[in-house]
Structure formats: structure tokens, C-alpha cells
């Protein structure tokens, strides 16, 4: 039987918001503060979403073979044929780790959709447009993909709120990345995690410098950039 806590004796943290809601930022924040954090893929080449889904559907402990981390984030996976959102197993995670911290990270819906549509992965199993990979796995049009996101998102959020609303002793925080300050996250986990706000640094944000670097790498974007200037 797996422990309710990490190998270091502290409760785990599960970041159960959808991708493109600062999951990378939160992961790096804990990692840079010295904690063992896993985000999307594992050190052995497997993927967090795949392992959690397989464990849940096989009747294994939900974190079987991956229970040594402090923090878990980015429970999604999409390769064009398969699309997983293992954050939906938050109930199973709570059953196994009732003392854990559960963070529902959210953001403005329109901004979330735009961010997902423009995200371009460069990893071996996540290469190319996230939007195209999910659309292909759905087997539907671009418009239908966006409609599905907008339909499923509020339903999932309400399921999470209802579940933890019925468990007032649970360690649950809904964290709006647009309106809330990192200090609220720091205070929330302060009993078990010592975090420095100086190490909070937004990740995967497209800056003007990054746009310039992309133009330099891509001759077509470089040419279009000339007409825009």
C-alpha cells in the first residue's frame, strides 16, 4: 500500500487544472525550491497521464511506480491518435492521498483557448501543434474541437468544486492565475513546503523577444516580419 505522503514525509501536491493554465510555471516553482516535481513526462520516458490512466483502469494503486515525487502536474497527453486528461482521476487521487494538496489552476476561458491553440510542442512524443494533435485524436473539425473544450471545461471545474465542497477538511485551492498572487499559493502549502516567491517565474509565455527569435529561425516568418514593420 502506498503512503499518503511523499518519501520525505510531506503531503503530496496535485496540480489538477488543464494544460496551459501555468502548469509548467507551478512545476518549475516547486522544483526550483528544491522539491521533487514531475510535469508531463517522467525520467524513464513514460508519461504521467499514461501511467495514471493505466493504473486507474487496471485497478492498481493510482501512483504505482511513480509515488516518489512531491508534486505532480500536467496530467494531459496528446499525440494525434490518443488524447488523455488524467486530471479527471482527481477522485481516485484523493481516495489514495486524502491529506494531499489539490490545486485547481484556472484562467480566463478565452485566453486559455487561445493559448492551447497556439501551443507548439517540440518533444518527441508531443511534437507539433497541440490543437492539431487533440483535434486529430478527437477525429473532428477545428471548430468542433474548440466547442468541446469550451463545453467540457466548466463541467470539469464544477465537478472538482462540488467534490471538494463536500469535503471541507480537504486541502483544496482554486487558483486563478490571472487574478491571484503567488503568495496565496505559498501560504496555502506553508505547513509542508517552504517556497520563495523570488523563484516564481512565468514559463511558456510568448514574449516579443521570442517572436523575434522565431522569425530568425523561420525564413517565411522573417519575410512576413519585414512587411509588418
Query: How many other C-beta atoms can be found within 10 angstroms of the C-beta atom of residue 162?
Result: 9
Q: At what angle do helices 130-138 and 142-165 cross, to 10 degrees?
A: 90
**What CATH code would you report for 13-228?**
3.40.50
- The per-residue pLDDT for 227 is 44
Looking at the DSSP bridge assignments, the partners of residue 14 are 72, 102
Instruction: Spell out the domain ranges in the chain.
Output: 13-228
Query: What is residue 40's DSSP assignment?
Result: S
Q: Residue 203: its pLDDT value, please?
A: 85
Please give the Cα distance from 202 to 12 (Å, whole number). 22
* Residues 220, 37: Cα–Cα separation, whole Å: 38
This prediction has a pTM of 0.86
* pLDDT tens for each residue of the chain, 229 residues long: 445 655 678 999 999 999 999 999 999 999 999 999 999 999 999 999 999 999 999 999 999 999 999 999 999 999 999 999 999 999 999 999 999 999 999 999 999 999 999 998 765 555 679 999 999 999 999 999 999 999 999 999 999 999 999 999 999 999 999 999 999 999 999 999 999 999 999 987 654 444 444 444 455 544 444 444 4
Amino acid at each position: 500500500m502506498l503512503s499518503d505522503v511523499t518519501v520525505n514525509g510531506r503531503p503530496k501536491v496535485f496540480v489538477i487544472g488543464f494544460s496551459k493554465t501555468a502548469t509548467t510555471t507551478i512545476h518549475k516553482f516547486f522544483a526550483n525550491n528544491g522539491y521533487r516535481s514531475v510535469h508531463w513526462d517522467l525520467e524513464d520516458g513514460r508519461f504521467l497521464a499514461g501511467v495514471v490512466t493505466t493504473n486507474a483502469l487496471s485497478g492498481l494503486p493510482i501512483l504505482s511506480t511513480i509515488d516518489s515525487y512531491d508534486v505532480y502536474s500536467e496530467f494531459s497527453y496528446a499525440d494525434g491518435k490518443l488524447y488523455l486528461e488524467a486530471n479527471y482521476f482527481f477522485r481516485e487521487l484523493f481516495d489514495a492521498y486524502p491529506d494531499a494538496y489539490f490545486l485547481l489552476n484556472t484562467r480566463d476561458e478565452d485566453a486559455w483557448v487561445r493559448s492551447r491553440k497556439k501551443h507548439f510542442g517540440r518533444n518527441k512524443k508531443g511534437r507539433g501543434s497541440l490543437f492539431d494533435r487533440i483535434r486529430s485524436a478527437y477525429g473532428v473539425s477545428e471548430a468542433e474541437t474548440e466547442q468541446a473544450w469550451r463545453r467540457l471545461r466548466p463541467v470539469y471545474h464544477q465537478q472538482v468544486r462540488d467534490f471538494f465542497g463536500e469535503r471541507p477538511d480537504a486541502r483544496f485551492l482554486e487558483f486563478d492565475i490571472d487574478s491571484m498572487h503567488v503568495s496565496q499559493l505559498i501560504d496555502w502549502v506553508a505547513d509542508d513546503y517552504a517556497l520563495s516567491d523570488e523563484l516564481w517565474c512565468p514559463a511558456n509565455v510568448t514574449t516579443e523577444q521570442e517572436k523575434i527569435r522565431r522569425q530568425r529561425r523561420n525564413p517565411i516568418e522573417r519575410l512576413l516580419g519585414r512587411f509588418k514593420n
